A and B are shown apart, each in its own frame.
Chain A
């Protein structure tokens, strides 16, 4: 393992999140077993108060996860100098097989936590807390995801070994430089362009529809198109948006756009994208409960507000991406 501050910080954060969530898991089980909203007993009161702890904790995990995700990528980019053949974060993440799985799990934790918080939010607006049991069962399901995210991250960092000069022998040329496997997405720019804009139109139109209507089907579709929109957006970044930002026809990296050399343009793209996707997924996550009598009026109201957020985020993302493409000096598609 590399003994490096950012790595220690990331492991500390992930480990602490797991420990905290695992620490409160027994209480979640108590809530599931003994919850009785109609009881005036002191135990019920204590359980109710415990729910505040869970939502505070999950909010904390969500915020920490977002920060950790940024730090993870940021640090991977910085570490690339340590590995033969690695030019940026992609290379570092490819040093061993755990890098990308770890990154993807961390994103999953972020989106799952956002969905849980969305469900939690509608539940606390209903006077009878109809989703308490479901919510805490979901929370218990989130725990293994969080734990595996930590485990993957640990495996990844444990497997990192820098190619440094040792005192006996300076040459390591017997070892071939690793290929950067994710010099990603050999997609041609033109079909990629179509795919990207089709994805974005869907990801904007569906939540817009849901925002106006608030119906259940449109809510489910919002989650679906948000998920698909996220994939389309990342594919778009990989296949052509990054090329335009770098003004280089073969540089496909989704991480270098976060660097100061490119004016941090990546943050402008990713932050609206992540927020929009989290909002869209959250809007969908609450739809299965829209028929519950006390939530009937709450779910459409909250989910259409989230859909509005998703629309805004995707519009911002698409507009910025388009602007970066148009203002670039690179020409990929001849007219």
Chain B
């Protein structure tokens, strides 16, 4: 589904503090599977996820998504692809304070121009699946950590993407909540979604829900 060939990524190009986060990554990711990227911080796993998830473009190399080369696309079209095909769950959850859980969840669908009532119905459906229905009108800053993460997951699902990307999803959760998260993940694969996540939490990487673990260090893949 996603093929990367010789992906390189530099920051602060042409300046004294130039820094190469990725040194030529070749990788193919299958659809419908859970893939975990493991590695120490600074290994380039998050940078790789941003490239896969169309959040940024590689400095060089090719990205193919469903057979199409998307590495040279301008931001405008990358955003379209990202909105339709990728849902994100961030480490810090990144919810917008002051808005209710429901408002937060329907935000990614605003640019699509879908009518509001349709969005609200969809969001309520997702909330019921995630057992959050009773919290939908609460402001996000009043929610517990676990609830906040489920809101973030609901937000990732609102546009019904094929791929869910989660960056260190269990970093801010205790063991019980982390296990709950993993079971939600299994639910995704059951519905045919592809999941990509980064983690160095053994609870995640060694979980049976994860089909494949890719190791990374210093911007290169390591043998696993």
Contacts and interface: CB of A to CB of B under 8 A. Distances in A.
Question: Do A and B touch (CB < 8 Å)?
Answer: yes
Interface of A: 37-38, 40-43, 45, 48-49, 124, 127-129
B13 A42 contact: yes
Contact of A40 (B12, B14, B71): B71
Interface in B1-26: 10-14
Nearest to A127: B77
Nearest to A129: B74
Contacts of A42: 10-14
Interface in B21-50: none
Nearest to B51: A40
Nearest to B70: A127
Q: Is the interface of B mostly helix, strand, loop or mixed?
A: loop
Q: Which 4 pairs across A and B sit closest by C-beta, in order of nearness?
A: A40-B59, A40-B57, A42-B13, A38-B72
Contacts of B12: 42
A313 B77 CA distance: 32
B72 A37 contact: yes
A40 B73 contact: no
Given A40-B59, A127-B74, 17 more contacts: A37-B72, A37-B74, A38-B72, A40-B58, A40-B60, A40-B71, A42-B10, A42-B13, A42-B14, A43-B13, A45-B57, A45-B75, A48-B74, A49-B75, A124-B76, A127-B73, A128-B72
Nearest to A44: B57
A41 B13 contact: yes
B79 to A, nearest CB: 12
26 contacts: A37-B72, A37-B74, A38-B72, A40-B57, A40-B58, A40-B59, A40-B60, A40-B71, A40-B72, A41-B13, A41-B59, A42-B10, A42-B11, A42-B12, A42-B13, A42-B14, A43-B13, A45-B57, A48-B74, A48-B75, A49-B75, A124-B76, A127-B73, A127-B74, A128-B72, A129-B74
Contacts of A49: 75
Kindly state the interface size class of chain B when it binds its partner: 10 to 19
B7 to A, nearest CB: 10
A207 B75 CA distance: 34
A159 to B, nearest CB: 47
Interface in B67-119: 71-77
B120 to A, nearest CB: 31
Contacts of B60: 40
A35 to B, nearest CB: 11
B9 to A, nearest CB: 8
Contacts of A48: 74-75
Contacts of A45: 57, 75
A61 to B, nearest CB: 22
A314 B75 CA distance: 38
Contacts of B11: 42
Contacts of B59: 40-41
A49 B56 CA distance: 13
A45 B58 CA distance: 11
A42 B57 CA distance: 9
A38 B75 CA distance: 13
Contacts of B10: 42
